[in-house]
């Protein structure tokens, strides 16, 4: 019975994650991408890839083999475009994936179902090999929210490798 439940659960998750692929157009390599990542943006839910010319702030993040990010919390203004510079201070590969709670859980389920899958060309995340640094530019939505950045290498997310992005509410009277 447990196997049937696992198969049905995996089928439902995979079916739900493939829906955005039809909308993604021609992407060269979609291996290792979670459902929202394939569509190229998080839409109004958690933002979209940003342009270097629009960056208003740089945030340095360090990944550690203790399954933690430093800092573990980042505050961001509404509509702000942030350059994240992620440095891996550990001896194992880590990921930095931006998403809301739903996206992170879906990505983790996909990684558990396909443990050999590696991060592809996800617009909302990067894989950072040991001792290296990667950059991700992200434009946040014009609304208050709590988002997450997480590592989905096997066992890392389950061990608590999650950080939080707190989006401040727009000032009263500003366009949303």
Q: Which CATH number does the domain housing residue 126 bear? A: 2.60.40.420
Please report, rounded to a whole number, the percentage of residues in the chain having pLDDT higher than 70.
72
CA distances from 114 to 2, 81, 109, 139 (A): 18, 32, 9, 29
Structure tokens at 69: 């990010």
In this structure, is residue 174 part of a structural domain?
A: no
For the beta carbon of residue 92, count every other beta carbon within 10 angstroms: 14
Query: pTM of this prediction?
Result: 0.74
Q: Show the domain range for 62.
A: 2-167
In this structure, is residue 176 part of a structural domain?
A: no
At 122, the pLDDT band (50, 70, 90 cuts) reads confident
pLDDT at 25: 27
In this structure, is residue 173 part of a structural domain?
A: no
In this structure, is residue 158 part of a structural domain?
A: yes
For the chain, the average pLDDT equals 79
In this structure, is residue 134 part of a structural domain?
A: yes
Range with the poorest average pLDDT among 24-28, 137-141, 149-153, 172-176: 24-28
Domain count, the chain: 1
Which residues does 156 contact at the CB level (< 8 Å), separation at least 6? 67, 94, 95, 150
CA 84 to chain centre: 12
pLDDT higher than 90, residue 80: yes
> Comparing 49 with 34, which gets the higher pLDDT?
49
In this structure, is residue 6 part of a structural domain?
A: yes
């Amino acid at each position: 019975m447990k196997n049937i439940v696992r198969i049905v659960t995996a089928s439902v998750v995979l079916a739900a994650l493939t829906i955005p692929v039809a909308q993604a157009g021609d992407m060269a390599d979609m291996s290792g991408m979670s459902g929202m990542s394939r569509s190229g943006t998080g839409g109004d839910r958690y933002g979209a890839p940003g342009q270097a010319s629009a960056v208003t702030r740089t945030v340095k993040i360090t990944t550690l083999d203790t399954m933690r990010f430093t800092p573990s919390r980042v505050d961001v203004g509404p509509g702000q475009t942030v350059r994240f510079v992620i440095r891996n201070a550990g001896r194992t590969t880590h990921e930095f994936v931006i998403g809301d709670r739903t996206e992170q859980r879906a990505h983790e389920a996909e990684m558990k179902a396909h443990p050999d899958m590696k991060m592809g060309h996800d617009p909302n995340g990067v894989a950072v090999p040991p001792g290296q640094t990667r950059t991700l530019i992200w434009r946040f939505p014009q609304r208050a929210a709590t988002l997450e950045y997480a590592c989905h290498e096997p066992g890392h997310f389950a061990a608590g490798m999650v950080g939080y992005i707190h989006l401040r509410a727009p000032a009263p009277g500003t366009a949303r």
